[in-house]
């Protein structure tokens, strides 16, 4: 079966440094990977999607890479701030025969990021 | 305001007493899902729906039922709740389409305790 794994349960870094979170997957490559942010007691909030044929995607201080050889996606937050402290989730979007999503997602366990002032 | 709403937000119940958690979205989204979130296990999909009257099992459907009679509503039904269904539940919706990000919009969550 398909698995999405975020190896680090927690990551602690100093303010201003770059945070790098890892998402690994097994078996065949997911066509789409998403990254979400979740604050305590709240629902996840979508950040970025990267497609299989995209090596890199950026949004402000966020960068996501997709390495199909390593079966891995990396999520970077540059110039991190204490306000970036949250749980970050990656998710695989399953596609149907027509190449479109049919609503099934598989999430990793999440990585708790703490940025210290 | 575009949103997904869930009710109730908190619920404490006893084993075997049927309950329904409602979910509603105002974005005219085709897809809706239910997830449960447990420490160490992350978010796991219970059921998802591609449109009205079209639903399918996610990864952990046992003990749950859903229905999609209207596009905006997707209630989660626990016919006979058990303590192992104590969890934080999220409803989510998203729009269909190949050019989109398949962004899931999540509700605020329902914390369920079954004693």
Pick among B32, B37, B43 to test the A interface (most A CBs inside 10 A): B43
Q: What is the pLDDT of residue B19?
A: 97
Query: Is a pLDDT exceeding 90 seen at residue B68?
Result: yes
| Residue A107: band (very low, low, confident or very high) from pLDDT cuts 50, 70, 90 | very high
Place of tokens 């075997």: B16
A99 inside 8 A of chain B by CB: yes
**Computed from CA positions of residues A60, A9, B38, B60, in that sequence, does the dihedral angle turn out positive or negative?**
positive
Q: How far off is chain B from A24, nearest CA to CA, in Å? A: 15
Give per-residue pLDDT as tens, A48-106.
999 888 889 999 999 999 888 888 899 999 999 999 999 999 999 887 766 666 677 88
Give per-residue pLDDT as tens, B48-57.
998 999 999 9
Q: What is the pLDDT of residue A29?
A: 67
Q: What are phi and psi of B83, to 5 degrees?
A: -55, -30
Please indicate whether residue A17 or residue A99 has the higher confidence score (pLDDT).
A17
Place of tokens 């989510």: B92
Q: What is the pLDDT of residue B99?
A: 58
Give per-residue pLDDT as tens, B24-42.
999 999 999 999 999 888 8
Average pLDDT on B86-108 reads 87
Q: Residue A3: exposed, middle, or buried by beta-carbon count in 10 A (0-12, 13-18, 19+)?
A: exposed
Q: What is the pLDDT of residue B73?
A: 98
CA nearest to B31 within chain A:
A103
Give CA–CA dist A51/B20, Å, rounded: 37
């Amino acid at each position: 079966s398909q698995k999405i794994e975020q190896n680090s349960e927690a990551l602690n870094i100093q303010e201003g440094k770059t945070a790098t979170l890892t998402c690994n997957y097994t078996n065949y490559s997911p066509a789409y990977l998403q990254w979400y942010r979740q604050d305590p007691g709240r629902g996840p909030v979508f950040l970025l999607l990267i497609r299989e044929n995209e090596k890199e995607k950026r949004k402000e201080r966020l960068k996501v890479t997709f390495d199909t050889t390593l079966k891995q996606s990396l999520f970077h937050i540059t110039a991190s701030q204490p306000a970036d402290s949250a749980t970050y989730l990656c998710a695989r979007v399953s596609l149907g025969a027509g190449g479109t999503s049919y609503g099934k997602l598989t999430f990793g366990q999440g990585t708790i990021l703490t940025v210290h002032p | 305001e575009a949103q997904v709403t869930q009710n109730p937000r908190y619920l404490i119940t006893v084993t075997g007493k049927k309950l329904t958690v409602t979910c509603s979205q105002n974005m005219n989204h085709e897809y809706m899902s239910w997830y449960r979130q447990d420490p160490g296990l992350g978010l796991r999909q219970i059921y998802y729906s591609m449109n009205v009257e079209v639903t399918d099992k996610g990864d952990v459907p046992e003990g749950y039922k859903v229905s999609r009679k209207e596009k905006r509503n997707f209630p989660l039904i626990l016919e006979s709740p058990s303590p192992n269904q104590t969890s934080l539940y999220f409803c989510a919706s998203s729009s269909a389409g190949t050019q989109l990000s398949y962004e899931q919009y999540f509700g605020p969550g329902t914390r369920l305790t079954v004693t």
